[in-house]
Structures are given as structure tokens and as C-alpha cells.
Structure 1
């Protein structure tokens, strides 16, 4: 038989065998590595490219693209698990200012992968001309320095700022403003102030950039003639109670501003002004009082002329030793006797001397609680109870007591 004719006769059989082999191979592959359709869990950020440097995107673009993919299980666990294997692009090359509907292109560096769906597939893009303009900086001062002080001329690190952004927004900017608050200022000012872009109504303009973002402002603050700051000196009289000590005297405010139409009177002050005397005779506790200032003639105090004074008084601490205090037994179980060795202790106490001076032995008890103990010999620490507050137990001598607990011996009945 002619070989060509033989091949022609057997060709259908060969093709059928090939198709069966391919089908068996596909079945084997899909059985061991099945194709899975999933939502891609890694974030795919939208990358914008090709934007003309003279343009700016003023429409809101999606930050990420979500995808549904089909791929063999092995691809999901290997290549698709890597970062940046899928990228999404928005190409703005060659575009001028205007409105566009543009597609989002995908790049997948893994095979075999089928994109079943992704969202969004296209976006609305608005491009505007990038515009800049220079404006003078307006410095606003909504406040004044402290009473008796005056502000000098401010000095800015730069007098102008550049505003850039979409032409539609930059055209709205009528003022670049910096606000300097000098309320209660008593010393020179050196601050960095944020710049704001405002429209003709004084409202902020969004989506514009200001360069520089901040301006440095310096301003001298000086005291006016006839004014002076002086410290407050609290005068006291009398002695606090015996056994107590004065720990602190403070005033609020610490410094006051005084004024005189004759600057010489103010300049001749010693740097402080006294209060009226505060009587501390036999005081035993903290005091809070208001005292008037002893203002010299021809001088006045700017603001409140009454000073709040706080006086701190504490008892002097000391110690005392009470000797041979009896040890008391508490909650001894029935049918038991107890022997203590020793049965008396010395107790050292500390606290305010006035309280210690009034302390007596009857105010102190030394106890041993035996509610949890039965027959045996124990070394137990006694407990000291005080009927007076503010006293600390420093030590007990001895620190522990030998306690021997024995059953009560009951007499044997005579036969």
C-alpha cells in the first residue's frame, strides 16, 4: 500500500489518540493542580504615569484596583503570593488640560493567570493647568502684650510666598496670612507661623500648595516707662506652736506689675513689694489666706492687689521607746495553756513630737494571735496596735517571741 495513502487512512486514528492524550494530561493536571477562582487579596495600587509637568490631576482617583483571578492552586500559593506581581497603570501620556475617560491597564508577572474581572476598569480624569503666583504675606495680630508692655515692629523671614495648584483654585487665593498671638507676652518673640491661603472672603482655599509652608517672625517686646515687675515678699509675725516647724511660704502670684506716673518712684523700689504681716502665733496647721500688698504712696498695682498666700506647717518628728510592755494572748484555743518567753517587749515609736509627748503605755497594745496554732513551740512576731493616729512602729525588741502551747492537764479522779 502506498505510504501516503496509509498515513491518510490512519490520520483520524492518530488525531483521536492525540486528543485523548491531551485530554488525559489536562485531566491529570487539573486533578493534581486544580484551577481556582478567587478575589486577589493583596492591595494593587493604581500607578499614574506620563503626566505633563505643566498639568495637575484635580479629579479624585481610586487608590487601589480590586481583581478576581483564575489560576492553578500552585500559582496562587507561589507567584501570586508575592508582592508587586500585579500592577495597575493609568497612562496620561500626551494629554492636555481637559476631561477624559481613561482605561486602567494591568500587568501580571505570573502565568498561567486569567483575569475574570477587575474594578474599576476605567476612570474619569480631569486635568488642569498647573498655575503659580506670588503674594505678599499678611501678618495679623489679634491680641496685645501684657499690661505695661508694648510690641515693636515685627520682622518676617520672607515677605512673599508662592501659591501653586490648579488654576481654578489658585485664582481664588486673595491673601496669604500668618497669625501672631502675642497675648500676655512679656519678652521678645521668635516663632515659626503656619501660612494659610485665603479667598476674598477670608475662607481657606483647598488643594493649593504654599511655599514656604511657614514663616519665621521676630518681634521685640519691651516694658513701658513707669511700669516695673517686682517680686512679692510675704511678711510674717509671731511664732508657730512649739513642736512644729514652718516648711514653706508661697505667694500667688510670685511677681506683680506696678505702675507710677513718676517713673523714678518705680525705679527706686528695691525689686520687691511686701504684703501686710501674717500672724502665725501658735499656728499648728497649714494656712491659706489672702493678704493685701503694702503699696508705697504714689505707686499702684496693675491688676489684683491682693495676694494669695499658702503657709505649710509640719510637726517636728521624734521617737520614743516604751519599755516592758506586756504581751497579750488573743484567741487561744480551749483546753490549751501558753507560755511566752519573754512575756514583755520594748517598742520604739516615731511621729510628731506633740503627739509623742501625750502618748502613754495604755495607748499601745502588744498582741499575739494564736487562733491558728495548736500544741507546739513557735517563734511568732507580736503585733503592735496603737490607739493614736500619726504614729509609726519603728521596731520591737525582741522582734519575735517564743510561744509554747501545751494541753491543759486535767486532774485524774481518785479511785
Structure 2
């Protein structure tokens, strides 16, 4: 009897302890929820990614997915919500089972952190429009938009490769009828070879863009041949005379440098590889000469376009040098002072410039050495001379670089 009574008391104590434990847990949970309550919020504009899109499908609108962002409603403790951002969620549509055409794709949202519950999302799904990705070969054409110079002919262009492969959305690829490159032949007197990007065009000639092309660049060669009875000759100016003394000829330019002539083929065959101008006299010239010079050609031969060329003969002074001895002059000495001595009394100056200009220089006249003595008191000073020379003359060296000047008070 006493044993049963003891067991019942122990059982009652155990029940009391369990009840106390449950109450303690409840109190703790309530306390935690009061300090960090669970809240509901909406995370707006979560970007939606496209995953598992088959290689043979592409979005119909220029290949762009343009999937709208999704708003996600979720529940989490306040401390998590306060730091929550769109980077904590993954929103995506899985297109692994997609087919060509318009179809609905469910938006899936997964959490990257623990402690949150996703309740719902808006929108639940999006409509996507997919088209098949195809490729096809199209021919390449060279579009010749002008002609070679008179006296030359262009043969049929040679394009390498002759076709290119176009890949992209089926509707756009089906529009493409040809690939095109533009070739300009103006001023071409020899074979033209270019490597150029192709332009895709439809049957009406309109440009088709946003497609992959392989290869993107093709090579075009257009053979250029000279017609019978035509010949291209370089121009050689006939310069006579010499520039003035102390001047020299530094260059000759001819515009154009070559001319095309036409006439009797036998006469052309006997001509040298150049045609000369009439004589251009530069005797005594002291500056550049620009002259329009006629060409000397046989009477049975004519020149295409201009019958004369522009010849420019550059004439410049011969550069030279001159050593000159100067006596420095004093400038800026204060009142009550005088220069007792300058040592050495003269300096040697090396000048460079156009020889005609150097020939006009006179020591201590148009070339001077000045000693600036402003703000100096009595004493002995090393002074560097200031050289005064014409603008087109340069001082190469001065020896000595400084002179010793002794300043004393006037008696």
C-alpha cells in the first residue's frame, strides 16, 4: 500500500516537472517572438533568369528574353527581413521542355538563406515566344559602285568564299537572300584586293541585322586591265638653272605624278616610261616656285584629263654658321655707380641660321651682347651676357659664358 502511494507521488512530481518545462518553453517562445517577431513582407522586382534553354531555340523578339521581374511575398523573423535583398532569392524559368511557339513558363523561386518561408509570387508565370534556330548558306555578291579611270577596264570580281553561313531565328534567317560587299574602283589602275565585312540583305535589298555570319569577312579581287591604245606614264619635270647664291633646291613634287595617254599603239610602244614637262627655269630663285607646266608628247598622242601638271620646286636658304666677336655693353647700372672693368672685354659667339641672313649680320649693330646690371651694388660679379640676335638666327655657343664685372662708386 505504501509502495503504491510512493509511486503515485513520484508520478505527480514528474507531471509537475513536465508541465513546468512546457510552460518555460512557452514563455521563452513568447519572449523571443516579442523581441524578434515573425513578419510578412514583399520583396519587389526580383530578376528572373532563364535556364536550360535548348540550343536550337531562341526568343522571337530579336533573341532577347525580356522576362519581367517578380514580386515575392515571404515570411521571416524581423532581424532577417531587415537585411533581406533580391540577392537572397533565385527566381528563374526552366525551359528544358520548351517547344517553338508561344507558351507559359512557371516562375520558380528558391531561397539562398535559411529562416524564411516563401508564401507566393506575382506573377506566377510568364508567356514566352520561342522560335527555332536555323542556319543556311547564302551567296556573296560584290557590288561594284564605280568604274576605274578612263583607259582601264575591270573584269568580273572574284569572291572568296563564294558563300557564307547565316545562323539565327528562323523568320530572320529565311529573309536573307544574299550577302554583299561594296567595292570601289575609282582611281584603280591595278588589281583591287580587299577584305571586307559582309552585309546581309533580303529579296528587296533591305539590310537584315542581328544574325550570326560565318565567315564575317570575305576577300574580293577585281582584275584591272589597261585598254589597248592606252598607257600610263610617270611625269618628269624639266628643271633648268640654279637658285641664287646661298640658296638650294630641297625638293620637287609633281601633281599628278602619273598621267594616262592614248593614241596609236605603235607610237605608244616607242615612248619611254615617262613624259617630260616644258622647261621650268629656277635661275636666281630665292623662294619656292609653283608652276603649271604643260607636257611634251607626240602630236599623235593625247593625255587623258589634264594636259599640264603642277610642279612645286622647294627653294630654301643654305644653312650656315658664323663666329662673331662682340664687346658687351652695360645696361641698367644704378645711379652713383660705374663699371671699373669687364674681364674679358670681348666674347666669341657662334651663330647658326640661313647663310643669306648671316651675311647681313654686323657685330655690335644687329647682333649685340648686353650685361644686365640692374639692382647691383658695389662689388665684383660674374655676369652672363644676354645676346640680341634676329629671329631667324640661333646662338649656338658663347665663350666665355660669363664675364667678370667690377662695379665701384663714382668719385
| TM-score interval, normalised by the smaller of the two chains | 0.7 to 0.9
Q: Which residue of 2 aligns with 1:332?
A: 333
Consecutive unaligned residues in structure 2, runs of 5 or more: 1-7
CA distance in 2, matches of 1:292, 1:109: 87
Q: Which residue of 2 aligns with 1:247?
A: 250
Q: CA deviation at 1:272?
A: 0.8
CA distance in 1, matches of 2:124, 2:391: 81
SS of 2:190 mapped into structure 1: coil
Q: Given that residues 71 and 114 in structure 1 are in contact (C-alpha distance below 8 angstroms), is that contact kept between their aligned partners in structure 2? A: no
Q: CA deviation at 1:269?
A: 1.5
SS of 2:267 mapped into structure 1: helix
CA distance in 1, matches of 2:118, 2:369: 88
Q: Deviations over 1:208-254 (max 9, x none)?
A: 44444333333322222222221111112222111111111111121
Higher mean alpha-carbon deviation, 366-375 vs 107-116, is at: 107-116
Q: Given that residues 49 and 89 in structure 1 are in contact (C-alpha distance below 8 angstroms), is that contact kept between their aligned partners in structure 2? A: no
Equivalent of 1:394, from 393, 396, 402? 396
Equivalent of 2:324, from 310, 322, 340? 322
SS of 2:243 mapped into structure 1: coil
SS of 2:327 mapped into structure 1: strand
The 1:246–1:191 alpha-carbon spacing in structure 2 relative to 1, beyond 3 Å, is closer
SS of 1:277 mapped into structure 2: strand
Equivalent of 2:266, from 261, 264, 267? 264
CA distance in 2, matches of 1:85, 1:358: 88
Q: CA deviation at 1:126?
A: 0.4
CA distance in 2, matches of 1:72, 1:405: 92
Q: Deviations over 1:52-89 (max 9, x none)?
A: x4432213323896889989989999x999xx986543
Equivalent of 1:21, from 28, 32, 39? 28
Is 1:184 aligned with 2:191? no
CA distance in 1, matches of 2:43, 2:329: 81
Q: Deviations over 1:313-359 (max 9, x none)?
A: 11122222332x32211111222222322233233322222222222
Q: CA deviation at 1:21?
A: 3.5
Q: Which residue of 2 aligns with 1:413?
A: none
How does 1:145-184 map onto structure 2 within 5 Å? 145-184=148-187
Q: Given that residues 61 and 123 in structure 1 are in contact (C-alpha distance below 8 angstroms), is that contact kept between their aligned partners in structure 2? A: no
Q: Deviations over 1:161-213 (max 9, x none)?
A: 44443333233333333333333222223333433332222112244444443
Q: CA deviation at 1:23?
A: 5.6
Q: Given that residues 348 and 394 in structure 1 are in contact (C-alpha distance below 8 angstroms), is that contact kept between their aligned partners in structure 2? A: yes
Q: Given that residues 231 and 261 in structure 2 are in contact (C-alpha distance below 8 angstroms), is that contact kept between their aligned partners in structure 1? A: yes
Is 1:305 aligned with 2:312? no
Q: Given that residues 250 and 315 in structure 2 are in contact (C-alpha distance below 8 angstroms), is that contact kept between their aligned partners in structure 1? A: yes
SS of 1:171 mapped into structure 2: helix
Q: Given that residues 141 and 159 in structure 2 are in contact (C-alpha distance below 8 angstroms), is that contact kept between their aligned partners in structure 1? A: no
Q: Given that residues 50 and 95 in structure 2 are in contact (C-alpha distance below 8 angstroms), is that contact kept between their aligned partners in structure 1? A: no
CA distance in 1, matches of 2:275, 2:138: 51
* TM-score, normalised by the number of residues in structure 1: 0.81
The 1:328–1:182 alpha-carbon spacing in structure 2 relative to 1, beyond 3 Å, is same
Is 1:236 aligned with 2:239? yes
Q: CA deviation at 1:295?
A: 2.2
Q: Given that residues 48 and 93 in structure 2 are in contact (C-alpha distance below 8 angstroms), is that contact kept between their aligned partners in structure 1? A: no
CA distance in 2, matches of 1:150, 1:76: 79
SS of 1:168 mapped into structure 2: helix
Q: Which residue of 1 aligns with 2:384?
A: 381
Q: Which residue of 1 aligns with 2:5?
A: none
Q: Deviations over 1:286-313 (max 9, x none)?
A: 1222212122221111222221111111
How does 1:38-49 map onto structure 2 within 5 Å? 46-49=49-52
Q: Deviations over 1:104-140 (max 9, x none)?
A: 4344444346779999875431012334444433332
CA distance in 2, matches of 1:3, 1:135: 95
Q: Deviations over 1:268-299 (max 9, x none)?
A: 22111111111112110112222121222211
* TM-score, normalised by the number of residues in structure 2: 0.82
Equivalent of 2:66, from 47, 62, 65? 62
CA distance in 1, matches of 2:122, 2:303: 74
Is 1:363 aligned with 2:366? yes
CA distance in 2, matches of 1:373, 1:40: 82
CA distance in 2, matches of 1:104, 1:158: 46
Q: CA deviation at 1:38?
A: 12
SS of 1:235 mapped into structure 2: strand
SS of 2:28 mapped into structure 1: helix
Aligned length: 397
Q: Given that residues 147 and 184 in structure 1 are in contact (C-alpha distance below 8 angstroms), is that contact kept between their aligned partners in structure 2? A: no
